Amino acid sequence: KAGVTQTPRYLIKTRGQQVTLSCSPISGHRSVSWYQQTPGQGLQFLFEYFSETQRNKGNFPGRFSGRQFSNSRSEMNVSTLELGDSALYLCASSSTSGITLGANVLTFGAGSRLTVL
């Protein structure tokens, strides 16, 4: 069973540009979450999607957006990039079969390393 696939693995952008990151979840997983990891702020929740709907959003500016497609693949977009957006962006997918939402284990991808110059 293939794991969570994130593309691209590495990318370099300049300030003011925009970027789109892609995440393909484990087959059968319908929930996809995104996290930002930086040395200063640690791991922070960005948003979570289920059945093409955003169910939960972290405390990030509107420049950060995402979407989910009917095949559960997800993309996140960051517009008007700032130096502080340099980070590892992690995607995680989860099934929805647990007795509670919280019971479902997140499986993470290897991340997309974004550098903003």
Partner 1 sequence: AQTVTQSQPEMSVQEAETVTLSCTYDTSESDYYLFWYKQPPSRQMILVIRQEAYKQQNATENRFSVNFQKAAKSFSLKISDSQLGDAAMYFCAYRRFNDYKLSFGAGTTVTVRA
> Applying CB under 8 A, which residues contact partner 1?
31, 33, 35, 42-43, 45, 48, 55-56, 58, 88, 90, 92, 94, 100-111, 113
Please give the single-letter amino acid code of residue 56. Answer: N
Q: Which is nearer to partner 1, 14 or 54 (CB)?
A: 54
| Cβ at position 80, least distance to partner 1 in Å | 26
| Cβ at position 70, least distance to partner 1 in Å | 20
Separation between Cα atoms, residue 106 and residue 70, nearest integer Å: 20
Separation between Cα atoms, residue 75 and residue 69, nearest integer Å: 8
| Cβ at position 10, least distance to partner 1 in Å | 11
Q: Which is nearer to partner 1, 70 or 100 (CB)?
A: 100
> Residue 95's CB: how many other CB atoms inside 10 A?
16
Burial (Cβ within 10 Å: 0-12, 13-18, ≥19) of residue 60: middle
Burial (Cβ within 10 Å: 0-12, 13-18, ≥19) of residue 30: middle
Q: Which is nearer to partner 1, 81 or 92 (CB)?
A: 92
| Cβ at position 60, least distance to partner 1 in Å | 13
Q: Which is nearer to partner 1, 16 or 28 (CB)?
A: 28
